[in-house]
């Protein structure tokens, strides 16, 4: 299967369940004219996936995109350390949603699936020293919402309502269910 993403987290999640992956990403503008945040994230995941699938028509190609949504506003990756600090201060003591949209395309078999996962994340109240400690690690800089649930940012999380892997960057259980619906079983995943 081709993963239309450079995300090490998506590669790890898919690889851990047995997918043999080839990484091919396309340079795509990650913008959408959709107004609903879920529609927007699925549209961006589709654009990333179809850009690669157009060159690999006989392969299964999967792509995804993740956003953090606070009070309806999309929080992307931080621009710099000051922006990361501001984002973490905004998330402190509140709940937010993490939405990961994904797309699976196989042009030769006429397969196009778009779906998403949503998880609510509840943050602890963060003090200045916690935020500075995390920013010094450089870990928040390449992540939507300026934190990773799988790294040092895990200490900020009080609880989640939903799927851990949606927050990490790919709703793997939902994706496997999607594959089963089109007739691909777990024992076949290393062949797609």
The two structure tokens encoding residue 26: 């396309």
- Give the C-alpha separation, 184 to 7, whole Å: 24
What does 4-54 look like in DSSP terms, one character per residue?
----HHHHHHHHHTT---EE-----------SSHHHHHHHHHHHHHHHHHT
Known catalytic residues are 65
- Give the C-alpha separation, 39 to 26, whole Å: 21
- Give the C-alpha separation, 182 to 167, whole Å: 25
Q: Nearest-CA neighbor of 82 among 146, 142, 148, 127?
A: 146
The two structure tokens encoding residue 13: 């999640």
172 sits in which H/E element:
helix 172-181
- Give the C-alpha separation, 137 to 122, whole Å: 22
Cβ contact 122:108 at 8 Å: no
């Amino acid at each position: 299967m081709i993963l239309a993403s450079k995300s090490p987290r998506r590669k790890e999640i898919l690889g851990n369940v047995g997918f043999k992956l080839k990484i091919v990403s396309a340079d795509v503008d990650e913008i959408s004219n959709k107004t609903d945040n879920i529609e927007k994230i699925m549209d961006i995941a589709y654009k990333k996936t179809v850009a690669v699938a157009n060159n690999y028509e006989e392969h299964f190609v999967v792509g995804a995109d993740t956003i953090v949504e606070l009070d309806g506003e999309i929080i992307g990756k931080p621009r710099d350390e000051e922006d990361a600090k501001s984002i973490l201060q905004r998330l402190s003591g509140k709940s937010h949603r993490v939405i990961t949209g994904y797309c699976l395309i196989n042009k030769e078999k006429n397969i196009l699936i778009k779906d998403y996962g949503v998880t609510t994340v509840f943050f602890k109240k963060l003090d200045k020293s916690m935020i500075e400690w995390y920013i010094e690690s450089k870990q928040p800089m390449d992540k939507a919402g300026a934190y990773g649930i799988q790294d040092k940012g895990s200490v900020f999380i009080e609880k989640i309502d939903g799927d851990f892997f949606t927050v990490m960057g790919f709703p793997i259980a939902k994706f496997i269910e999607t594959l089963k619906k089109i007739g691909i079983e777990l024992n076949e995943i290393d062949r797609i």
